[in-house]
Structure 1
């Protein structure tokens, strides 16, 4: 089977009436029509990949920029899937650049790592001074409800804000210590990182307020089946970590904290993309 290589270039700019997207694509990855359900200056954008998943050798490359004063919310209509591979790894990469005063909400739905997959998910965000970002990475290992656990294969996650923050982890299906040990995932098969990041240091009162509302929103979500913690690993970042046995409660908790951060961090009301309800 011939691998597929898809490229998508997204450019969000602030024009007098609204934030506007201009884009180019090569391959199957596409951008649907922009929507403005809350404010003309906040562009809701849905990305679709009609093949529905990646197999060995497939590559998705996304190059995204948000210009000064623009605000973009980017999501997907369904889960991303990394299927079984017998050779080369499948890879998705995001390279995002935010100009001064730009805002980006990078909120794709969960990634499913199937048993025997060889997958890589890389995200790199370049934030100019004054730019701000909310983003998450939601991952489900295997399909435990279908008795298809993640027992072999490998999945690599890479999140980077150059010069500020780097997280890179490799999860192997046969790494029992990581998957089941007390210092690892402890048998949980769903995990997430949600973070609020800025191109300039966050003032201490603002950083503490983001931590407080994250913890309160997580408590209020009443997701008893998940573990979570909110920290500030750097003066420019506040992060929420979540572990669960199913992706649905993990994602629900992240959405609750995202909505709270929107209000506290930006004074913007919760407005969930409508594709999340379809």
Structure 2
């Protein structure tokens, strides 16, 4: 394990690489590589053998020039649930781009990726890219919530660039490729964009079936705030939310997670303790 200072004038270069392995009916963190300001808090076991972990970014926010990489490997039969203790904030930039790369390699195991929301300040230049590689009967549930500006403080995202991409593979074959670009006001305001909604969220889960889809679609109806819809592609459930409040996005996403977890993973939902603090 090493800790390197940031690149002079160019932000932090940080990497956190984790490997989870099943040992005697319990998932353990078998390998950890840490460079720069990314860390994993001591694992918790609130539901027996499933390893719950909290990823920490001590600087408290991402600035222009930061290059962050989170790489997770889940070995056969292992089961990890990862979240963050708070929102990730992407601050305004004077010209340098910030990039967070997420690499998930799940080999016949289970990964649940359930971070708190990402908040993008006006004038940020940020890119988040996620690559998920599933092998064999690997299972995955992921929920990400994104917020442009700070609606609660009446701060509008009136300038900046945000690019969010996701690629999902199983056994080397593409299942889903998704990209969201907010590079001008039209991307935020147009009917083909976000329709002036500052909050959007995506839930990805696999493997799923039509029965799961129908149950999730019922949860997407009659929301107090915003719109949501669900679809099924090649046993991959995709749920999208668009609205005004991160609380509603989390509430919907976690309700769906609680509904589908027993069907996909065979375990009832046990929320991370950090969500209650």
1:171 and 2:189 matched: no
Q: Which shifted more, 162-171 or 24-33?
A: 162-171
Counterpart CA distance in 2 for 1:168 and 1:2 is 26
Q: Gaps spanning 5+ residues in structure 1: where?
A: 199-205
Q: Is the 8 A contact 1:230 1:241 kept in 2?
A: yes
CA offset at residue 216 of structure 1? 2.8
3-state SS of paired residue (1:35): coil
- 1:217 aligns with 219
- 1:202 aligns with none
Counterpart CA distance in 2 for 1:270 and 1:236 is 21
1:19 and 2:30 matched: no
TM-score w.r.t. structure 2 length?
0.92
Give the one of 177, 180, 183 matched to 2:192.
183
Q: How many pairs were matched up? A: 264
- 1:258 aligns with 257
Counterpart CA distance in 2 for 1:161 and 1:264 is 20
Q: Is the 8 A contact 2:229 2:239 kept in 1?
A: yes
Aligned CA RMSD, in angstroms, stands at 1.3
3-state SS of paired residue (1:257): helix
Alignment of 1:243-254 (within 5 A): 243-254=242-253
Counterpart CA distance in 2 for 1:216 and 1:80 is 30
CA offset at residue 86 of structure 1? 1.0
Q: Is the 8 A contact 1:210 1:265 kept in 2?
A: no
Counterpart CA distance in 2 for 1:158 and 1:197 is 18
Counterpart CA distance in 1 for 2:105 and 2:134 is 6
TM-score w.r.t. structure 1 length?
0.91
- Superposed CA deviations along residues 71-124 of structure 1, whole A, max 9, x for unmatched, are 000000000111000122101101111112x01001111100110000011110
- 1:208 aligns with 210
